[in-house]
Structure 1
């Protein structure tokens, strides 16, 4: 049986897309925080600093585009 993600609602928060208040739910999976608006479905993702540092350290730049 799978373990469902626990949603925590953010009191007083306003969705940047639909401007609805008290509709943002925070979930966390694999050290990644995701905020989802239950009204319009807008999603925002933020990784923890530790995770981001590991990801950035292992990235390789192929080239830099200059217009």
Structure 2
């Protein structure tokens, strides 16, 4: 069993249950995953997609596009 550090995203709203401050970011095998601790909704995005979305001279933890 692997322990993954969760980082909560302040002000983030879950696209499914609309709860605020319940979105946690984890990283597993170079894939960033955001999970709502309230309803369990998950969004994942590999690093290659994040790199394409980052503009020069910006630092981004993750870019997520809800479907």
TM-score, normalised by the number of residues in structure 2: 0.69
Following TM superposition, the consecutive aligned residue runs of length 4 or more in structure 1 with deviations greater than 3 angstroms are none
Aligned to 1:12: 11
Aligned to 1:28: 27
C-alpha distance in 2, partners of 1:36/1:42? 6
Aligned to 1:47: 46
Secondary structure (helix, strand or coil) at the match of 1:6 reads: coil
| Max Rg structure | 1
Q: 1:45 Cα shift?
A: 0.3
C-alpha distance in 2, partners of 1:19/1:3? 29
Q: 1:3 Cα shift?
A: 4.0
Total equivalences in the alignment: 49
C-alpha RMSD of the superposition:
1.3
| Runs of 5+ unmatched residues, structure 1 | 51-67
| Runs of 5+ unmatched residues, structure 2 | 50-67
Query: Which structure: greater helix fraction?
Result: 1
